[in-house]
C-alpha cells in the first residue's frame, strides 16, 4: 500500500493592491517558497454606492475587470518566481473573507499588511484586527518591505502562554532565524517598596527574588513544551520598552494570542503600544 503524501501547507495573504499590501504578498511568497506551500492571494471586493458609480465609474464592469487583471498579474508574477499561487476575488468584508478562506484551505498562516507605524486606522478597528480576533491560524502583520529573511525571531511569553504553539508559529514564519524566548518581569510590589523608602540593597534583593520566581515559572512552561530552557531571556523592566527594544528591524516579534500579553493587543495596552511605536513585523499565534 502506497504511503500517503504529506499535504501541502497553505498560506493566505490579503491584498488591496496597494504598495503596503505588496509587502505582505512578498513576505508571504518567501515563506510559501521555503515550505513549498500553496499561496492563496485574496482580494475582497465590495460594492460601491450606486450614485458614486454612476458619477465616476460609468463602466463598472470594466473597473471590475481591471481589478481582476491586477490580482491575476500579481499571481502570475508569483508563479513565475516558482510559487504555487492562486487568486481569490470574493465579494464581501475583507476580514470575513480572509478568515473564511483560511478555514477553507486549513491555512498554516494568514499574512496581512499594516499601514505604517501606528495602529490608529491601521490595525485596531480595521481588517487586520478583525482577522486577529479569531482563534484560527497565526496572523503575520507584515509591515516592513521584504528584502531579506528574518535574522532573528523573539517569542514574547507570559506565565500562561502556549509556548509550543508560539514557537511552532515562529518556526513556520521565520525558519532558520535565531530563536529566543523573552519574558519581561517586574516585582509586583517594587514601586511600593521604592515609595516607602527601601534602600538599593533591599530593592536588589527583591528584584533577585522576583527574577527567580519568574525564571522558575517560565522555564517550566518552556520545558513542558519540549524546548531548551536556555532559550529564555529574562529582562527586568516594564514590558513596553522591553518589547519595543526587541522589535528591531529584521527581527520577528511573536506574541501568543491566548495569553495576557496578546489580549492587550486587542484591548489597547502593552502590546498595542509596542506595535504603535515600532515598525517591525509581528506574528500573533
Residue finishing a domain among 90, 119, 147: 147
Report whether pLDDT(56) > 50: yes
Q: What is the mean pLDDT of residues 9-24?
A: 92
pLDDT surpasses 60 at 263: no
- The percentage of residues in the chain with a pLDDT greater than 70, rounded to a whole number, is 79
Quote the pLDDT of residue 125.
38
Of the listed ranges 37-41, 44-48, 220-224, the one predicted with least confidence: 44-48
Same domain for 210 and 112: no
Residues 262, 152, single domain; the answer is yes
More confident residue, 121 or 27: 27
- Encode the chain in three state secondary structure: CCCCCCCCCEEEEECCCCHHHHHHHHHHHHHHHHHCCEEEEEEEECCCCHHHHHHHCCCHHHHHHHHHHHHHHHHHHHHHCCCEEEEEEEECCHHHHHHHHHHHCCCCEEEEECCCCCCCCCCCCCHHHHHHCCCCCCEEEECCCCCCCCCEEEEECCCCCCHHHHHHHHHHHCCCCEEEEEEEECCCCHHHHHHCCCCHHHHHHHHHHHHHHHHHHHHHHHHHCCCCHHHEEEEECCHHHHHHHHCCCCEEEEECCCCHHHHHHHHCCHHHHHHHCCCCCEEEC
The rounded distance, in Å, linking the Cα atoms of 204 and 186 is: 12
What average pLDDT does this structure show over 50-67?
63
91 and 176 fall within a common domain: no
For residue 105, pLDDT beyond 80:
yes
Q: How confident is the model at residue 65, as a pLDDT?
A: 80
Asked whether the predicted pLDDT for residue 82 surpasses 90, the reply is yes
Maximum separation of any 2 CA atoms in the chain, in Å:
76
* Least confident stretch, 26-30, 56-60, 166-170: 56-60
pTM: 0.84
Together in a domain, 161 and 43: no
Same-domain status, 119 and 195: no
- pLDDT for residue 222: 97
Do 135 and 8 belong together in one domain? yes
108 in the same domain as 13: yes
- With a cut of 80, say whether residue 277 has pLDDT above it: no
Shared domain for 96 and 3, answered yes or no, is yes
Whether residues 159 and 282 fall in one domain: yes
> Which CATH number belongs to the domain containing residue 264 in this structure?
3.40.50.620
Average pLDDT, the chain: 83
More confident residue, 151 or 122: 151
**Structural domain boundaries, residue 133:** 1-147
Share of residues in the chain with pLDDT > 90 (%) = 46
Does one domain contain both 117 and 13? yes
Total tally of structural domains belonging to the chain: 2
Amino acid at each position: 500500500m502506497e504511503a500517503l503524501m504529506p499535504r501541502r501547507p497553505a498560506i493566505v495573504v490579503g491584498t488591496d493592491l496597494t504598495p503596503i499590501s505588496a509587502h505582505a504578498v512578498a513576505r508571504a511568497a518567501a515563506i510559501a517558497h521555503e515550505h513549498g506551500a500553496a499561496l492563496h492571494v485574496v482580494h475582497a471586493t465590495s460594492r460601491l454606492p450606486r450614485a458614486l458609480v454612476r458619477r465616476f465609474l460609468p463602466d463598472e464592469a470594466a473597473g471590475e475587470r481591471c481589478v481582476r487583471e491586477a490580482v491575476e498579474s500579481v499571481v502570475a508574477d508569483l508563479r513565475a518566481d516558482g510559487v504555487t499561487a492562486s487568486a481569490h476575488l470574493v465579494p464581501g468584508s475583507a476580514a470575513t473573507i480572509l478568515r473564511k478562506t483560511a478555514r477553507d484551505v486549513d491555512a498554516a498562516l494568514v499574512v496581512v499588511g499594516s499601514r505604517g507605524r501606528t495602529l490608529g486606522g491601521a490595525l485596531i478597528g480595521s481588517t487586520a484586527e478583525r482577522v486577529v480576533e479569531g482563534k484560527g491560524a497565526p496572523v503575520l502583520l507584515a509591515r516592513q518591505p521584504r528584502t531579506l529573511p528574518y535574522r532573528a525571531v523573539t517569542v514574547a511569553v507570559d506565565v500562561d502562554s502556549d509556548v509550543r504553539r508560539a514557537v511552532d508559529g515562529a518556526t513556520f514564519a521565520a525558519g532558520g532565524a535565531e530563536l529566543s524566548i523573552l519574558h519581561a518581569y517586574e516585582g509586583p510590589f517594587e514601586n511600593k517598596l521604592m515609595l516607602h523608602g527601601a534602600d538599593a540593597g533591599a530593592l536588589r534583593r527583591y528584584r533577585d527574588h522576583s527574577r527567580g520566581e519568574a525564571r522558575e515559572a517560565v522555564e517550566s512552561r518552556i520545558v513542558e513544551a519540549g524546548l531548551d530552557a536556555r532559550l529564555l531571556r529574562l529582562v527586568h523592566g516594564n514590558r513596553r520598552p522591553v518589547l519595543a527594544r526587541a522589535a528591531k528591524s529584521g527581527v520577528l516579534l511573536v506574541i501568543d494570542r491566548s495569553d495576557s500579553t496578546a489580549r492587550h493587543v486587542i484591548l489597547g495596552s502593552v502590546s498595542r503600544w509596542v506595535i504603535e511605536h515600532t515598525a517591525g513585523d509581528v506574528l500573533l499565534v
